[in-house]
Amino acid sequence: MLKSQRQKDFVFDSVIYVVLFIIMLTMLYPFYYVLIASFNKGSDSLLGGVYLWPRNFTLENYRVFMDDPKWVKAFLVSVLRTVSGTLLGLLLTSIVAYGLSHRDLLFSKVYFTVIVFAMYFSGGLIPYYVVLRSLGLLNSFAVYIIPSMLSTFFLLIAISFFREIPAELKESAHIDGAGELTIFFRIILPVSTPVLATMALFMGVGQWNSWLDSAYFVQSEELRTLAFRMMEVINKSNSPMDSLAVANSASAGVTSFSLQVTSMVVSIVPIICVYPFLQKYFVSGIMLGSVKG
Amino acid sequence: MNKSRSFKIVAAALSMAVVLSACGGNGGNTAQPAPSGSPDAAAGGNAPAKPGQVKELSLFIDASWYPVTEWKGPVADMITEKTGVKLKVTVATDDKQLPLMIASGDLPDLVFTSSNVDRLSDSKLSYSWNELIEKYAPDFKIDKTRIAIHTMDDGNFYTVRNSFATQEEMKNSKYSLGSDGNPGIAVREDILKELGNPPIKTLDDFVKVLGMVKEKYPEMVPLIMDKDWIEQYFLAQFGTETLLDGWYEQDGKVEYAIRQPKMLDFFKFMNSLYRNGYILAENFALANDQIDDQYATGGKAFAHSHTVSTADTDNIKIKSNQGNFSFKMLPSVLSKDAKVVSSGLGFSGTFITKKNKDPEASIKFMQYLASDEGKKLTMFGVEGVHWTWNEEGHPDFKYNPSDADFVNSNGIKWWYLYNDGVTEGMLSYVPELQKTQALMDLKSIRIYKPEIGLIQTQPDSQEKTIKTKIDEMVKNEKVKIYLAESEEAAVAAYENMLKNAENIGLQKLTDWANTTYQKKKELFK
């Protein structure tokens, strides 16, 4: 009886593992394919049949890609906007969320209505552009940071997280003489690392990948981001060159496809590297034992 | 207690302020919009140039794929030297950027666009060229046809597109051949030789050879076609005067392509190719435009339908793959009925916007680009450095015009903010290439009817909806005709397609097209 139960479990588990493994492969393989294609000679990739490893290894795609000094500048702008945008976004979102998480807050219904409304409805690109212009944010680094400092979506998530924190924590700190700011910075934030890490990851990825603001709201070449430069490469490789020109440049080994996959790798890798460092904060039960009954 | 109440009020006030600002609402914000002359404007810095200095004008290029993004290189330098104007270039990131600039009023000095010509041809957004020419450049002469093409309902014209030529101009220029974007079929030379070099002078000859290939090399695909170049070559041979989604003119009236009597012969022909096994059914489902190239360069196909440069392109690839066979072009004309009608109006035009800080310099800049010297400088490069003029009437290039890297890095061709199809067409005259002959053949059977190109449905109009529906239906139904199991079934499928088009509103569309056509024709008188 027990044995057959175990056998059933084993079969069931095996099926689950196999299915999960297949799902994992389908998720990971496109990344892997892009990676090997970026190290393969472009004209060789066109012939097909490159599946497991580069057949004709080359660094030429990366050389052509990095030949332009603009890349380094764009990389720095992207790093700067990602770091500062994420930190400031976290700070403002958590401050506002903490204020709104108080259940006895006056007019809280009004605030929530406004927040939810703002989350679902936006004025559209043109009014947004006009607002940015009248605030004097166009063509400045601030346009990357200020508009994205408060995300209504994360605000709601942070509010519900802060509401989960036992009120006794705050009360005991009050009794010990702590002010609101002390409570927020020294008690609430340290126990909120899971939600902060989650927000930081999404905000960071969002900042890193954002190219639209760089395209529409900025004209200065100095302020272009890495993601924008990627778009440039992808756009240019869609250039309707005549096929002879393509054949001529393909004989040099680099094709529009190989440039595109290279730009994908360059844009994905840095943000993938950040992920493991944030993962350790995704821990539940951080509040366990914080309040003694 | 008090403390806690005051905290609540402060928190409430703070939250209220933050939430309201998060809304992005502009209530009570009295900040003035940045004037277009400020660095904040989308046009970039618009500080007026000091007299005696080179003037900088901002140019927005509404084509995200544009290969040149900076005003630099020998061609740009020479144009600046001649005109005293240099450009601060912004290339669009996508097709929404220009509409955004139009809506917000943040336009640069100049806009170069193909898809927004109608939209920018508006006195609220752009200066009309006729008034600027009258005022600042009375000796800037533009021919009647170009003016007719670009004249709007208000009687003004706001731009002139490049890459356009009239029948007359092309006739007078023997060496102007047109672009690579023309249909052609290449065949395997070695296999032809093995078959005893049968002559291919007509379509029937070609079909016979396909039959021989099928018999002798059963593992080979007799004819592979690029997904975007399936019909064009054969439509030209049947003399339909139009592609499947265009208009053709007969006795002063226009009709939609699928009603063209020769269309049925064309469909029967395509169907016979399929029924005889000369083309693959899956050829009509190819999603990737490189699969046909792989068939051809991998030695799996005898004939390859693509463009006039197919043989040249395939041969380069075969050589780099160490292949031991080669392709040659079929003649572009395989029937006495062959005909090609060019109803193109050109590619892109430059607009001098109402935000332009120096309309006089702008129109004079266009005038220089439109001069013979300006056109050659733009299109070929610097005379003596990049080319010399051959007395025969064409440039002798000192570089390979197909070398995209050289062309782009020197800014050759791409500053054609004003140019014409004749000058551009000379880039294709490279005697040692097979495509040159193919283009010459095509030129001999090409007729120009730009007035047909002016039959353009307007966005959001009823005609546009009908045309889109019909084109979509034809796209699906045509494959049923090609792949019909018998000729009778193909004819039935063709008639069914016509019936569907009638039901969608073909007659209404045709009536509208004829009204438009008559109106536009008047402009050319």
Checking if the pLDDT of A264 tops 60, the result is: yes
B393-442 tens-digit pLDDT: 899 999 988 777 788 889 999 999 999 999 999 988 888 889 999 999 99
Residue A81 above 50 pLDDT?
A: yes
Out of B26, B400, B407, name the one closest to residue A134 (CB).
B26
Q: In chain B, whose CA is at the least distance from the CA of A237?
A: B65
Query: Are A133 and B34 an interchain contact pair (Cβ–Cβ within 8 Å)?
Result: yes
pLDDT of A14 above 80: yes
* Contact residues for B70 (Cβ-Cβ < 8 A; gap 6+): B89
From residue B20, give the alpha-carbon distance in Å to each of A117, B27, B188, B329.
11, 9, 71, 68
- B20 pLDDT higher than 60: no
Rg (CA), chain A: 25
Residue A56 has pLDDT above 80, yes or no: yes
Q: Which pLDDT does position B16 carry in this prediction?
A: 41
DSSP string, A95-145: HHHHHHT-TT-TTHHHHHHHHHHHHH----HHHHHHHHHHTT-TTSTHHHH
Is the pLDDT at B133 greater than 90? The verdict is yes
Residue type, A32: Y
Bridge-based pairing state of the strands B446-448 and B85-91: unpaired
- Mean residue pLDDT across chain B: 87
Give the mean pLDDT of B459-481.
Answer: 93
Residues B350-367, mean pLDDT to the nearest whole number: 96
Interface of A with B in 101-120 (CB under 8 A): 102, 104-107, 110-111, 114-115, 117-118
More confident residue, A282 or B297: B297
Over the stretch B211-220, which tens digit does the pLDDT of each residue have? 999 999 999 9
Contact A90, A198 (CB under 8 A): no
Both structure tokens of B27? 């209530």
Nearest CA in chain B to A214: B93
Within 8 A of A130 by CB-CB distance, chain B residues are 26, 33, 104
What percent of chain A is helix, strand and coil (3-state, nearest 5)?
A: 70, 0, 25
Question: What's the pLDDT at A236?
Answer: 73
Mean pLDDT across B329-335 = 93
Q: What is the pLDDT of residue B30?
A: 29
Q: Identify from A104, A242, A246, A257 which residue to disrupt to test chain B contact, counting B C-beta atoms within 10 A and taking the largest count.
A: A242
pLDDT reported for residue A50:
82
Average pLDDT of the segment spanning B126-140: 96
pTM of the prediction?
0.78
What was the pLDDT predicted at A36? 93
Q: Phi and psi at residue A242, in whole multiples of 5°?
A: -70, 160
Alpha helices in B23-143 (DSSP H): 74-83, 97-104, 117-120, 129-136
The whole-number pLDDT of residue A247 equals: 55
For residues B207 and B284, the answer to whether their CB atoms sit within 8 Å is no
Residue A76, chain B, CB below 8 Å: the answer is: no
d(CA A41, CA A129): 42
Q: Which residues contact B61 (CB under 8 A, 6 or more apart)?
A: B89, B90, B91, B92, B112, B113
Query: Are B233 and B180 contacting, i.e. CB atoms less than 8 angstroms apart?
Result: no
Give the pLDDT score at A246: 54
Question: What is the structure's pLDDT at A271?
Answer: 77
pLDDT band at B34 (very low <50, low <70, confident <90, very high): very low
Contact B298 A240 (CB under 8 A): no
- In this prediction, residue A293 carries a pLDDT of 46
Give the CA distances from residue B445 to residues B219, B263, B311, B332, B422, in Å, rounded to whole numbers and listed in that order. 36, 19, 21, 9, 17
Crossing angle of helices A70-100/A193-209, nearest 10°? Answer: 140
Interface of A with B in 160-179 (CB under 8 A): none
pLDDT at A291: 53
**Band (B56; pLDDT cuts 50, 70, 90):** very high
Number of A to B CB contacts under 8 A, please give it: 165
Reduced to 3 states, what is the DSSP secondary structure of residue B115?
coil
